[in-house]
Amino acid sequence: MLKHTLFFEKEKLNGILAYASRMNDERQSGEVGYYHLMDTSLALIKESEKFIKDKEHIKKVLLIGMGGSSCGVKALKDFLFDEKSNERELFIIDNTSSHTFTQTIKKLNLKDTLFIISSKTGTTIEVVSLFKLLIAHFKLENSELKKHFVFITDENSKLHQLGDKLGIYSFFVPQNVGGRFSVLSAIGIVPLVICGYNAKGLLEGAKACYEDFFTHKKDEILQKAYHYCTHKNAHINVLFSYGDAFKGFNEWFVQLIAESLGKKQGYKRVGLTPIALIGARDQHSFLQLIMEGPKDKTITFLKVLNAEKSPAVPDFSLPFLQGCDFANGVNLHSLLNAQCDATLQALRAENLSVDLIELERLDAWHAGYLMYHYELFTSACGIMLGINTYDQPGVEVGKLILKKLLKKISPKNAHNTLLCT
């Protein structure tokens, strides 16, 4: 299970229930589709299994995606490293870095690799550019693409239209599901199923979180959102995740919070600034600032209670290092959690607003619960800040400028037939 402890004074429930009612209105309106993905995506598991059933030759899968089309998948790949039913290896390229592209391509060959092109809009410039690079690298004709590629996109997007023309199979993302809230849609489910991860457990965990919030009326998410959104001094939320398996999750968390909550509200600018750290490593770089720097931060600690296969520190002494023997016999995971607990206590002593999320174990169920938990938290914050949580007008401005710049520098601009917008 997931346990969420708040180390700050809670608001009276009748003072924040109106926000829960507005979230319920969002859920029932059908305009915000992520609320229902744990149910609607069950059919995707069967569709994905059917698609890959006769493709036993596929040993590797390369996902090309940006932002919401990749962050969640990266998080789950890290989460579920020990929970797979087949040997297919998942690779992800989510940047137009020539280093990443060339180094990844060296590990792949055409015969046993499936390429997933993932773009909700179907016109993401980075994704389309990388798609073209793959075609050129493997010297493929249009008629050959359907053997090696599959698309994940909106129905009737330009990418879908291309797939229809070339016979490339397309999985669809619901129109009412935004990219950064799409991890439980085809964006996440399809690559996970194909690579043997437990997608059903993921959806079951999300369903449990849904029930806890909407049916059982648990209030920790609302309480945390209200405290952090109305804090007089702290508009930075630091997520301190203890364990390297959370590295991808931290990236997903930053995108979810920053792109959803950083908005203009008339002439006012609002939002929570997310910072994601990995414990215990980042205690040796960032903790000093939190402890003795400006009190403009709230801190969320995230840890896993149980970890199998964790080796223990050997019980012997080394000359001159006997002062470190207090850790002898302690397994590495217990040491990591002790570091988490000690840091939490130190920050509480500084009267900082702190909360703690504890996962019983790292598995698909807990991953689904945690990610849905944060999606609900983000929606609650958006309502409390009085903004549109689900758009990103600031990002669109940059895309328009990029398009103008690329038109100036492209040597083939006169013949450019890109569909991108």
pLDDT tens track for 98-117 = 999 999 999 999 999 999 99
Residues 239-274 have pLDDT tens digits of: 999 999 999 999 999 999 999 999 988 889 999 999
Band (420; pLDDT cuts 50, 70, 90): very low
Tens digits of residue pLDDT in 27-81: 999 999 999 999 999 999 999 999 999 999 999 999 999 999 999 999 999 999 8
CA distances from 332 to 231, 234, 326, 328 (A): 36, 33, 13, 10
pLDDT band at 410 (very low <50, low <70, confident <90, very high): confident
Extract the tokens encoding 117.
């092109």
What's the pLDDT score for residue 413? Answer: 61
- Residue 188 is predicted with a pLDDT of 97
pLDDT of residue 406: 82
pLDDT of residue 332: 94
pTM of the predicted model as reported, rounded to 2 decimal places: 0.94
pLDDT for residue 47: 98
Q: What is the pLDDT of residue 46?
A: 97
CA dihedral 188, 112, 147, 72 (to 10 degrees): 10
Q: What share of the chain is helix, strand, coil (3-state, %, to 5)?
A: 50, 15, 30
CA angle centred on 380, ends 378 and 385, rounded to 5°:
95
Q: In the chain, pLDDT over 70 holds for what percent of residues? A: 98
Least confident segment among 11-15, 215-219, 301-305 = 11-15
Strands 89-93 and 2-7, by their bridges, are unpaired
Gyration radius of the chain over CA positions? 23
Task: Give residue 385's pLDDT.
Answer: 95
What confidence score (pLDDT) does residue 276 get? Answer: 98
In whole angstroms, give the CA distance from residue 82 to residue 79.
8
pLDDT of residue 132: 97
Conformational region of residue 62, where left means phi above 0, alpha means psi within -120 to 50, and beta covers everything else: beta
Which residue numbers are catalytic?
Answer: 259, 284, 399
Q: Is the pLDDT assigned to residue 412 strictly greater than 80?
A: no
- Three-class DSSP category at 379: helix
Interval 150-172 mean pLDDT: 97
C-beta of residue 77 within 8 angstroms of C-beta of residue 92: yes
The burial class, CB within 10 Å (0-12 / 13-18 / 19+), for 22 is middle
* Helix (H), strand (E) at residue 156: none
> CB within 8 A of 350, min separation 6: which ones?
291, 295
Residues in Cβ contact with 146 at an 8 Å cutoff, skipping those fewer than 6 apart: 166, 167, 168, 169
**Residue 280: pLDDT above 90?**
yes
User: Other C-beta atoms within 10 Å of 75: how many?
Assistant: 24
Apex CA 197: angle with CA 191 and CA 203, to 5°? Answer: 90
Determine the Cα–Cα distance for residues 37 and 184; give it in Å rounded to an integer.
6
What angle in degrees, to the nearest 10, is found between the helix axes of 364-385 and 220-229? 40
Tokens of residue 236, six digits: 């930075």
The pLDDT assigned to 421 comes to 42
What is the rounded distance in angstroms from the CA atom of residue 241 to the CA atom of residue 281?
10
Q: Which residue has the tokens 């549109």?
A: 388
- In this predicted structure, what is the pLDDT of residue 419? 45
pLDDT one-digit tens code per residue, 285-303:
999 999 999 999 999 999 9
**AA identity, residue 240:** F
> For residue 52, what are the CA distances in angstroms to 142, 305, 371?
21, 35, 26
pLDDT number for residue 141: 96
Question: With 80 as the cut, is the pLDDT of residue 308 above it?
Answer: no
Question: In the block, which residue shows the tokens 């450019």?
Answer: 416
Give the pLDDT of residue 418: 43
Condensed to tens digits (0 to 9), the pLDDT of residues 315-366 reads 999 999 999 999 999 999 999 999 999 999 999 999 999 999 999 999 999 9
Tokens of 38: 């744990």
Residues 6+ apart with CB under 8 A from 104: 62, 91, 93
Whether the pLDDT of residue 122 is over 70: the answer is yes
Which string of DSSP letters, residue by residue, matches 32-54?
A: SGGGGHHHHTHHHHHHHHHHHTT
Q: Domains of the chain by range and CATH?
A: 2-23+202-385 (3.40.50.10490), 32-197 (3.40.50.10490)
pLDDT (0 to 100) of residue 414? 42
